[in-house]
Structure 1
Amino acid sequence: MTNATDTATVDPITLDIIENALKNARYEMDGVVVRISLSPVIREQHDEFPMICNERGQMIVGQFGSYIPSVVEKFGGDVNEGDIFVWNDPYASKGSISHNNDWCVMLPIFHEKVLVGFSSIFGHMVDVGGTVPGSMPANARTIWEEGLRVPPVKIYSKGELNQGVLDIMLNNSRTPDMNRADLMALIAGCRTAGTRVKELCDRFGRETYMTACDMLLARTREAMRVVIRKYIPEEPVSFTDYVDDDGLGNGPFKMTLTISRRGDVAVFDWTGTDAQAEGPINFHIHEGLCKLFFGVYMIMSFDPSVLFNEGFYDLFEIVLPEGSLLNPRFPAALSNRLNTHTRFFDCQAGALGKFVPQLSMAAGYGTSPHFIFSGTDKDNKYFQLMELLFGGVPGRPKGDGFDGHAWWPLFSATPIEYIENYYPVLIERYQPIQDSGGPGLHRGGAGIEKVYRLLEKGQVSIHDDREVVPPWGINGGLHGGTSSKWVIKNGETEPSRIPSKIDNLKVNPGDRVVFKTAGSGGWGDPLERAAEIVARDVRYGLVSREQAEKSYGVILTADNEADLAATAKLREAAKKERGEPPAFDFGYTPPERQAAE
């Protein structure tokens, strides 16, 4: 197909209006979804990802992309007005979504019977069946254990609901009411985008709209070409980080990324990454999504003004060795793939940090911590709380990392009032963890401690990482704190430590679960951080007096104010003893180095 930009152009003002109208429509999709959904994961935490695409299935605005063409191809062009597609099988959809909990909806958009684009959203369902509540078993060895798998099917065909498909999907969930509401919310969000795109075609003309979409792709491509030329080295640069374990006692698992440039093309090569895990931390990533993740990181790091879309895809080359942690063979388990997914970004930060350290960032909390509490209450009603927790976002060139923040910018914490009103749980403590943010000129974000007092008998599942391998610091910054999990039985005072990945932990009324997430690495020399800011962090409880002196070289008065004269003297001595700060502080000895030694 010939792009519209080959024959026509759109004036800059119209292009700007269409661009911002599409951005607004994308955020309106979010608004519609969170108002209709019922589950705390989507309604409160916003674990849903919308996009608007052109007629070829390329994302123009959104957060994820690349999967539309493969779904259209599966149906051999049988795509009609009023059709709505749904699926959740990562393998059948070529990795467009990465575990069974994500239900994806796609709607073709027609204007006067002409296909002008697609809208799509996927969102995390609280439960899709499988061996454990929440459908993310920590000990799964195959995807068969992780719940219902639905290949791309039409849930609406020319406007008519396929009740059979809906019934099958809901019949295999422990939370059918929530799933139904959340699915219909995703569909409503897609329909909203369809309405807005049709309005743009009515307002400016269909050809103008479609040409504008192609111009937005071309503009992003040119901007990315400049970024690649400036920030990607021709000579290969490699970096390795680790996932703690796979939930079955295996690990740590190595992830190695090599970045290089060939002309205008950036090459991202995962050769050297460990073979697929026995447990469910494998990440079956679509090559296009892999490009998207690299692209969004580069845009956010080097030029945030660039519109995030798929225009740059041909400028990226991806190598994903088959049978590896990032390209597992069917039927590898996938449910806890976010432990690997987020390390993806740490590896990219580390590799780019070797070439442009002044613009890179440290490592973060490196996963997506989950807390799931399920059971039957005193009224014999089933309950299932699922919450995503957050940790330290890394120190960066611009400033300190965020404390207890999500990797995904639009995610938010579940309000404590919501949890306590709808579930038999009391939240006794929710606070940053002192000294968990890596010391640096710009401090790493702190992890969080959340204490759940459980009011009913039930079972708990926990998924987390960065318990063994700390988040590293960069440019002289130091590593951040690791995660830990504890249970305090009713009537006892001493906590017992539990693994970072565990299912079906039996709990009783009055038991408490203490969930501590990892912090993040610091950026830059901590001995250069303003003493007054260190003193402020001590007063806020983010840094201890001991760490202020040991890592920052700051002497405090009795009322936690900086003693500037004593601090200057201590720092001068500390710099002489230390010498030049290291480029990276890992806080551990990598396994390869241990073996060599």
Structure 2
Amino acid sequence: MHEKILETNPTPYNRLEVDPITLDIIENALRNTREQMDATLFRTAMSPGIREQGDAFPMIANVDGKMVVGQFGSFIHGFMEAFEGTIEEGDMIFTNDPYSCGGAVSHLNDYLVIKPVYKDGRHLCWAAHFGHMTDIGGRAPGSLPNEAREIFEEGVAVPPVKVFRKGELQDDIIKIVLRNSRMPHWNEGDFKGVIAACNIAERRCIEMAERFGDDVFYSALDELLERNCRAMQKLILETVPEEVQTFEDYICDDALGSGPYKIKCSMWREGEKVIFDFDGTDPQSPGSINFLLNEEMFKMFCGTFMISAFDPQILFNDGFYDYMDVRIPEGSLLKPRRPAALSCRTHALGRIFDVLSGLLGQGNPDFLCGAGFSDSPHFMYSGYDKNGEWYQLYQIGFGGIPARPIGDGPDGHSLWPGFKNVPNEFLEAYFPLRIETYESITDSGGAGYHRGGNGIRMGYRFLEDGEISIHDDRWLTYPWGVNGANPGLRSTKELVRATGETEMLPSKCDRFEVKSGDILYFNTWGGGGVGDPLTREAERVLQDVHSGLVSPEAAHDIYGVVIADGAVDEAATEALRAEKAADKSEAKLFNFGDELEELRANCLAETGLEPPAAPDFSKSRLAAE
């Protein structure tokens, strides 16, 4: 990578010992810089997806491209392998093509900008940011077509190019991408906000180097990576067994009538290194649910999960990557061959977290979480209003976070912790719709000693004729519970016409026509529970009932709690729980609800939708190569 970085000052940095106080100051200054990057973008962006929800991710990396602060892990190594040419001071690189950067971004809507930070002619570090653009062309408004079969249908793909060259803006590039967007003014504001965020990071990193010295700043970045490495080394040895553990989960369908699609991963430890092998994962789909999983990104997912579960005080960064080996078969759902479609990759991306939870928790049941709201469901609504003006909404739905060993799962939250909900007042002010209901779905969280978070019911009443598109999952399979708990409730999409007619919509559909007065009930799924629901303190169940999170019927039938006159009947509850415990079968480590064949057999009756057919991978030309 270094041979592509041109410097006018060839003097190497000196690695120094950095005292703990200085290291702590630099660490927190870097964290603060990351927050400033987000604040700059959110105050500049035009689209609600970024401005209101925060669908953007910053990063600062050392000269070797290893992330020191950020969220998704470093993508610079894979990016630089694909980049042709050299990089100089004042350059800024832009791409949105997953196949040109090894999955550093995972679909075309994510605009990635990378800036090498220079000081006194030497490469000091990297700053990067990417954000989801509301529309970049393609066959459907929002550029996320469920039914795409090739990436060419999803919008304009830009290979790594210099959007700034030696400090000069290459305006023609911006003009090209904006010309291919249905919402060019939003994209321009968002794109320039991403660029501004990288400039802020550059300024702050140079200020730190000026304050403490270039060598100290350089050494501090390496020390923060090494400190993380030492902590993760210990964590891996303590928590990952040498014997092979295997777990699998599913994407319900591909929007083309086939499914479920299996994601399978095996994990074991060889000495100090943990191996993750996705052999057994289904071949790539002919549809758009494929996910080009960047190995470095997966390592960050693993590290984030392990740190959150076992030692939340560790600053997660890329320092531990040498102690993980990730193996993903070519031509699989998680490493599709170009030009496989990727626009619905969010389902597989989210399901990776459930697979990780199942894998890492098997050997440590006390740390096991249920399956959660492992997705970022997308809702799109577009058309021309009464004044002939084009409107286009892109919104991310929230659902139930899984129960954890330490407590209940939060209700109605995003898969990504930093995402925020778009205020209903904003939606009603800027789009021709009214929010009829926004509420927690009672009983949707899996019952357990710790209850899974509830999903959300959001009722959109459309005030103009238009088209909607929906990206969601977990309508067929269940978000499983663990250690004797129940799974969460599945998702549904129900359209009530202004005429009174009702129909169930699939979880994945494109350009579905709606009329003024129609209401869409967008119901997301709940998180799986943890532990036997009969052991949950009766007063906690009573509080859930009073809060509308659990129904009185579920309190009685599932939790074994008898409520009379607004209070717990202690004697009756004790008797009922003893009776239910005597009839209860042995607790399952994982409760998946039903087997796949049962889910298929009961699909129409339970969901109002026909079951998907088993995928026929012999028809996939690319997967068969």
1: CA distance, partners of 2:499 / 2:78: 56
Q: Does 1:574 align with 2:617?
A: no
Q: Which residue of 1 aligns with 2:518?
A: 511
Tell me the CA shift for residue 267 of structure 1.
0.7
Q: Which residue of 2 aligns with 1:83?
A: 91
Q: Quick one: which of 466, 477, 482 aligns to 1:474?
A: 482
Tell me the CA shift for residue 420 of structure 1.
0.6
Query: What whole-Å deviation, never above 9, does each CA across 1:77-112 have from its counterpart, x for those lacking one?
Result: 621222111110000111110000100011110111
Q: Which residue of 2 aligns with 1:256?
A: 264
Q: Which residue of 2 aligns with 1:278?
A: 286
Q: Does 1:145 align with 2:156?
A: no
**Letter paired with 1:516:** N
User: Residues 457-468 of structure 1: matches in 2 within 5 Å?
Assistant: 457-468=465-476
**Letter paired with 2:510:** D
2: CA distance, partners of 1:150 / 1:426: 37
1: CA distance, partners of 2:360 / 2:579: 32
1: CA distance, partners of 2:181 / 2:226: 43
Conserved? CA contact 1:265–1:317, under 8 Å:
yes
Length, aligned pairs only: 591
Q: Does 1:133 align with 2:141?
A: yes
Change (3 A) 1:74 1:257: closer
1: CA distance, partners of 2:600 / 2:140: 37
Conserved? CA contact 2:409–2:452, under 8 Å:
yes
Q: Which residue of 1 aligns with 2:491?
A: 483
1: CA distance, partners of 2:526 / 2:395: 18
Tell me the CA shift for residue 311 of structure 1.
0.2
**Letter paired with 2:453:** G
Q: Which residue of 2 aligns with 1:390?
A: 398
Conserved? CA contact 1:5–1:214, under 8 Å:
no
2: CA distance, partners of 1:151 / 1:90: 9
Query: What whole-Å deviation, never above 9, does each CA across 1:414-473 have from its counterpart, x for those lacking one?
Result: 000110111111001000101100000110000100000011111000110000001000
2: CA distance, partners of 1:317 / 1:508: 52
TM value normalised by structure 2:
0.93
Q: Which residue of 2 aligns with 1:227?
A: 235
Q: Which residue of 1 aligns with 2:251?
A: 243
In structure 1, runs of 5+ residues without a counterpart are none
3-state SS in 1 of match to 2:218: helix
Query: What whole-Å deviation, never above 9, does each CA across 1:160-182 have from its counterpart, x for those lacking one?
Result: 11111111110111000000000
Conserved? CA contact 2:449–2:532, under 8 Å:
yes
Conserved? CA contact 1:365–1:466, under 8 Å:
no
Identify which range, 446-455 or 544-553, moves more after superposition: 544-553
Q: Quick one: which of 545, 554, 557 aligns to 1:550?
A: 557
Tell me the CA shift for residue 580 of structure 1.
3.5
2: CA distance, partners of 1:132 / 1:294: 34
Query: What whole-Å deviation, never above 9, does each CA across 1:172-201 have from its counterpart, x for those lacking one?
Result: 110000000000000111110110000000
Conserved? CA contact 1:427–1:452, under 8 Å:
yes
Q: Quick one: which of 255, 262, 268 aligns to 2:276?
A: 268
1: CA distance, partners of 2:79 / 2:490: 40
Q: Which residue of 2 aligns with 1:430?
A: 438
Tell me the CA shift for residue 365 of structure 1.
2.5
Query: What whole-Å deviation, never above 9, does each CA across 1:376-429 have from its counterpart, x for those lacking one?
Result: 111111110110001110000110001110111100110001101111110010
Tell me the CA shift for residue 592 of structure 1.
11
Q: Which residue of 1 aligns with 2:197?
A: 189
Conserved? CA contact 2:61–2:74, under 8 Å:
no
TM value normalised by structure 1:
0.97
3-state SS in 1 of match to 2:564: coil
2: CA distance, partners of 1:549 / 1:592: 27
Q: Which residue of 1 aligns with 2:569?
A: 563
Tell me the CA shift for residue 301 of structure 1.
1.2
1: CA distance, partners of 2:73 / 2:112: 12
Query: What whole-Å deviation, never above 9, does each CA across 1:50-78 have from its counterpart, x for those lacking one?
Result: 01011111100011233213333444562
Conserved? CA contact 1:240–1:347, under 8 Å:
yes
Q: Which residue of 1 aligns with 2:175?
A: 167
2: CA distance, partners of 1:506 / 1:390: 24
3-state SS in 1 of match to 2:303: helix
Tell me the CA shift for residue 495 of structure 1.
2.2
2: CA distance, partners of 1:547 / 1:232: 37
User: Residues 70-469 of structure 1: matches in 2 within 5 Å?
Assistant: 70-75=78-83, 78-469=86-477
Change (3 A) 1:15 1:194: same
Tell me the CA shift for residue 297 of structure 1.
1.1
Conserved? CA contact 1:456–1:508, under 8 Å:
yes
2: CA distance, partners of 1:320 / 1:459: 37
Conserved? CA contact 1:5–1:215, under 8 Å:
no
Tell me the CA shift for residue 590 of structure 1.
3.7
Q: Which residue of 2 aligns with 1:588?
A: 594
2: CA distance, partners of 1:297 / 1:366: 13
2: CA distance, partners of 1:82 / 1:451: 48
In structure 2, runs of 5+ residues without a counterpart are 3-11, 602-625
**Letter paired with 1:549:** H
2: CA distance, partners of 1:590 / 1:377: 44
**Letter paired with 2:245:** V
Q: Quick one: which of 28, 48, 71 aligns to 1:20?
A: 28
**Letter paired with 1:412:** K
Tell me the CA shift for residue 294 of structure 1.
1.2
Q: Which residue of 1 aligns with 2:622?
A: none
Conserved? CA contact 2:14–2:215, under 8 Å:
no
**Letter paired with 2:65:** G
Conserved? CA contact 2:263–2:282, under 8 Å:
yes
Conserved? CA contact 1:37–1:43, under 8 Å:
yes
Conserved? CA contact 2:79–2:104, under 8 Å:
no
Runs of 4+ in 1 over 6 A off after TM superposition: 592-595
Change (3 A) 1:11 1:193: same
2: CA distance, partners of 1:271 / 1:200: 45
Conserved? CA contact 2:288–2:340, under 8 Å:
yes
Conserved? CA contact 2:378–2:394, under 8 Å:
yes
Change (3 A) 1:550 1:429: same
